[in-house]
Amino acid sequence: SNIMVDALNDIGLRGFIVYNADAWKNRKISEDIVYGVRIPEEEKLEREDLEKVREIISSDRDAMIHMHVAETIERYRIVREKFGLSTVELLDSFNLLNDRAVLTHAIWLSDKDRRIIARRRASIVCTPSAEMKLSDGIVQVPYFISEGINIALGTDGALWNNSNDIILEMKILCLLQKVTFGVRAITSKDAFIAATYSGARAFKLEKVIGDISKGYEANIVLINSENPSLKPMLMSPRSNVLSNIVYCAHSGYVDKVIVRGELYVDNGILVKNDEHEILARFQKEVEKIFDKVL
């Protein structure tokens, strides 16, 4: 995890880094990193793990909590059989559900689970591409929205998502929710908020990032609107800009990325780091690994 902190600092980006409870004291501190303590996956979970996390968050008010929750029906059943509670109920019994808790996936939830999450103001991060690839299930986004639960959008790891494209993920989220819950289950605006503001809110940064407003950091992504698939681009009062971004765009359309007012990507290429050198090193290191294991 400390290596990831260095990598994010080198490239100039924020990040959310989680540490196991036993490694918490040795985390590398950086002002641009949000830190979370990780609760093990359900099949490995013991009461001792929850007690350690509770001790950390009681002494460190800035610590976030992160756990993969009810990703599969099998994991849900493991916790239910072992503890006599759902994962959400178990976390709540240890006072580990609050506005600093970030629950990834949260697919196999009961009505009671959702009510608890809403009452405790915890956030959920869904990763639709990965959840489809792994045949996990489908997140109940319309119910979360109606109950006021903060639902953010992620990609999960490259092994389970492959493209790691947050713009494309908005479209996938919409299509999956619509085919499951109906054509009005989710709007382009819902998906866009999940990919932007809701992520900032999940990590207690909603007054700093996640919006383009006075007093916020100047973090802006500019998309090349001249791409044919984004045409026509209509402005107010019958704007289709948001719909075009969600349903027509992907990361390959990104022209510029501005972070804190500084240009980090221009013409789709990193400007503060040698992108070609990074990719070449990455390719070389992966080939070394495969040479050892194959």
State which CATH number among 3.30.200.20, 3.90.1170.50, 3.40.640.10, 3.20.20.140 fits the domain covering 2-214: 3.20.20.140
CA distance 61 to 144: 26
Among 180, 38, 21, residue whose Cα is nearest residue 103:
38
Helix, strand and coil in the chain, % to nearest 5: 45, 15, 35
Question: What does the pLDDT average to over 255-270?
Answer: 95
CA 23 to CA 15: how far, in whole Å?
A: 18
User: First and final CA of the chain: distance in angstroms?
Assistant: 27
Contacts 24+ apart (CB under 8 A), 43-52: 43/75, 43/78, 45/79, 45/82, 49/21, 50/90, 50/91, 50/94, 50/96, 51/94, 52/21, 52/22
* Cβ atoms within 10 Å of 225's Cβ, excluding its own: 14
pLDDT in tens, 106-142: 999 999 999 999 999 999 999 999 999 999 999 999 9
Q: What is the pLDDT of residue 238?
A: 86
Supply the pLDDT for residue 250: 96
The C-alpha atoms of residue 179 and residue 61 are separated, in whole angstroms, by: 41
Distance CA 154, CA 135 (A): 17
8 A C-beta contact, residue 152 and residue 123: yes
Domains of the chain, by residue range, sit at 2-214
Nearest CA to 268 out of 249, 248, 240 is that of 249
pLDDT tens figures, 183-234: 999 999 999 999 999 999 999 999 999 999 999 999 999 999 999 999 999 9
Rg of the chain (C-alpha set): 20
Degrees (nearest 5) of the Cα angle 54, 99, 261? 120
CA dist 21 to 50, 53, 287, Å? 9, 6, 33
Asked whether the whole model's pTM tops 0.85, one would answer yes
The answer to whether 118 and 97 have CB atoms below 8 angstroms apart is no
pLDDT digits (tens, 9 = 90+) for 89-98: 999 999 999 9
